Structure 1
Amino acid sequence: MKEHYYTIGEVAKLSNLSVQTLRYYDQIDLFKPAYIDTFTNYRYYKGNQLFYLDIIKSLKYIGVTLDDIKKALRLTSEELLDFLAQQELRINEKISRLNEAKNTLLKTKKQLQEQIDIPVFGEIYVQIEEAMPVLQVTTTELTPTSSTSTYYATLIKIIEKEGSVLNSRYGCIYPLEPYKDVNDIIYDAIFTPLLTERTFSQLSPNIQQTIIPGGKYVCIAFIYDPDTYFSFYEKLRNHVLAQEELFESQVYELYMPATLTMEQEKKFIVELKIRQKQETQNSSEKVVAHSYNSQPELPN
């Protein structure tokens, strides 16, 4: 029985590939015709060759390079099975990275929305917050008027080394106490929120991966100014002292850029927050966080 041959045009239609692609596969020795007519220079293919073209298309679809496909076509069935198992692992890693990127995007959107939803600058407000994973470094000498760049840079290096995603926010923790002025406030730790769920290994003793607990927080937000910082702290502390509920003895301070545009002068929003104790939350009515549709006008 005479064997049937297909022209390059017929193979292009059967495989849903272009003639140019088939010619290129011939040039790189990936998929060559059964023979070439020396008089017309036309390419002809056998029917059983289409099976290998299906393999090429399948491997290319999952992201295998053409060079690796050439190697795969020379493998035994057992070797090809092992090769495909390796490709499955690679795809699963890609899926994991894409899911991480998606979760990072969602968390970033949530952070921006929370910033937009700050009800009034310089006034007390209440909000319910989810637990926030953070990477933090302990400190002993910094105040709200000090530069935190060195400590923040340490956290950045750790996050970058792990291949994780950086956050545009950072924060500090200090005790809730009756200070005399802003320079009496000494930070216990500096932290940055984590956008991924990765676990950081081999951290030095003064650095830890931890969680700022969720719950009901009493907050105040303002544009950072070392001359007015203490007045806002005092306003928040006095409000807490006047409440019947019990509050924890830590102040969480969060810095976030007021704008991401390079044209405007860089300003930072500071949000101070104090968490209501859990036993008080369980016995009180559910508090609904403030929700606003438009961004408040930033003070000059």
Structure 2
Amino acid sequence: MVNKKYFSIGEVSKLKNITIKALRYYHKMGLLIPAYINPDNGYRYYTINQFIYLDIIKICKQSNVSVKEIKALFAKADTNYLKLYLEQKKEEIHKEIKELEQLNKRINILKTAIQTSEDEIVKTGFNIQNFESRYILSSATQEGELNEIKSFDKLDKKLDEFAIQTFQYGLIYTCHNDKWKVSDVFRLITSHDYKLLKDTFNVSELPQGKYLTVNCTRDAESETFELVKEYLEKNSLMCNKIYLFYLVTDVFNQYNHFSQFQISLKSTP
């Protein structure tokens, strides 16, 4: 048997970067039987022709294919079937990559939402800020916390089906006959989703430009809203919509909520 065409289990382990334990397991399961077993000491030996099987096993294992499935694949011994099988796994991997890319995008969006909110919350009093164009998906609602929750639920079902969660959301106050009331709930959506949804759902643009902003705690929203109206009247500023953003800060403290009123100093949609 002393012939260099054979490789010991230790040599195979080093050459193919696979543990001896795994090779013994594959032997036990009948997945990869050594080409030669020394009858005196039980040492296992493999040929170079078997290395391709280890490569296939690695690919399958990395694709979450069970040993039972791999064994059935080898038992079939059909190269054309193997090609079709690998193509299917390739498609599954591409799908998984896209899902992971979407997950990574959502993680970055959430981090951005938290950071943006933390940057905003340190500002005090009324401020004039410049914002880039933003896009919202909205749903009509009636005043009252329960009605708003139901409207958000309706909006989220639509959002989950068609758009990426941006974690930025709030209420729209609309003025009719000099009377202000909550008319809609909204969530910010990406520009990409806006292009997809603008002809289908209730989406609109918050135009680029200057916005009057002021922060408050959730408990002080009503009081702050009155101050906003006074500020607009005192400074002869006209608008027909006021946006209330719920800031994403101190996420795990349910008693520490902050909001920000935003009023476009241009005509808003």
TM-score in terms of structure 2 length = 0.78
- Tell me the residue number matched to 2:214: 220
- Tell me the residue number matched to 1:107: 109
In the TM superposition, 1:201-220 aligns within 5 A as: 208=201, 210-216=203-209, 217-220=211-214
Superposed CA RMSD: 3.5
After TM superposition, give the deviation of residue 92 of structure 1 in Å: 1.6
Q: 1:96 to 1:219 in 2, by over 3 A?
A: same
Higher relative contact order (CA 8 A, sep 6+): 1
- Tell me the residue number matched to 2:125: 122
Identical aligned residues as a percent: 24
Residues in 1 aligned to 2:30 and 2:190: alpha-carbon distance in whole angstroms: 46
After TM superposition, give the deviation of residue 45 of structure 1 in Å: 1.7
Q: More helix per residue: 1 or 2?
A: 2
Partner-residue secondary structure (3-state), 1:187: strand
- What number of residue pairs does the alignment pair up? 259
Q: 1:223 to 1:232 in 2, by over 3 A?
A: farther
Residues in 1 aligned to 2:265 and 2:68: alpha-carbon distance in whole angstroms: 61
- Tell me the residue number matched to 1:253: 244
Q: 1:276 to 1:168 in 2, by over 3 A?
A: same
Residues in 2 aligned to 1:121 and 1:146: alpha-carbon distance in whole angstroms: 30
- Tell me the residue number matched to 1:40: 41
- Tell me the residue number matched to 2:264: 275
Q: For residues 248-274 of structure 1, give each alpha carbon's deviation from its aligned partner in whole angstroms, at most 9, with x where no partner exists.
A: 532222123442234xx5232222212
Contact 2:36 2:45 in 1 (8 A): yes
Residues in 1 aligned to 2:191 and 2:52: alpha-carbon distance in whole angstroms: 43
Query: What amino acid does structure 1 have at the position aligned with 2:186?
Result: F
After TM superposition, give the deviation of residue 31 of structure 1 in Å: 1.8
Partner-residue secondary structure (3-state), 1:125: strand
In the TM superposition, 1:162-177 aligns within 5 A as: 162=161, 168-176=167-175
Asked if 1:185 corresponds to 2:180, the answer is yes
Q: 1:85 to 1:196 in 2, by over 3 A?
A: farther
Query: What amino acid does structure 2 have at the position aligned with 1:26?
Result: H
Residues in 2 aligned to 1:228 and 1:124: alpha-carbon distance in whole angstroms: 17
- Tell me the residue number matched to 2:17: 16
After TM superposition, give the deviation of residue 116 of structure 1 in Å: 2.0
Q: Structure 1 regions of 5+ residues with no counterpart?
A: 202-206, 280-300
Contact 1:219 1:272 in 2 (8 A): yes
In the TM superposition, 1:22-33 aligns within 5 A as: 22-33=23-34
Query: What amino acid does structure 2 have at the position aligned with 1:150?
Result: K
Contact 2:137 2:188 in 1 (8 A): yes
Q: 1:211 to 1:98 in 2, by over 3 A?
A: farther
Residues in 2 aligned to 1:123 and 1:75: alpha-carbon distance in whole angstroms: 74
Partner-residue secondary structure (3-state), 2:243: strand
Residues in 1 aligned to 2:207 and 2:28: alpha-carbon distance in whole angstroms: 61
After TM superposition, give the deviation of residue 209 of structure 1 in Å: 5.6
Residues in 2 aligned to 1:147 and 1:269: alpha-carbon distance in whole angstroms: 20
Contact 1:107 1:195 in 2 (8 A): no
After TM superposition, give the deviation of residue 148 of structure 1 in Å: 2.0
- Tell me the residue number matched to 2:154: 154
Match 2:225 to one of 223, 230, 235: 230
After TM superposition, give the deviation of residue 275 of structure 1 in Å: 2.4
Q: 1:254 to 1:127 in 2, by over 3 A?
A: same
Q: For residues 60-99 of structure 1, give each alpha carbon's deviation from its aligned partner in whole angstroms, at most 9, with x where no partner exists.
A: 3455444443344335232222222222222221221222
Query: What amino acid does structure 1 have at the position aligned with 2:128?
Result: Y
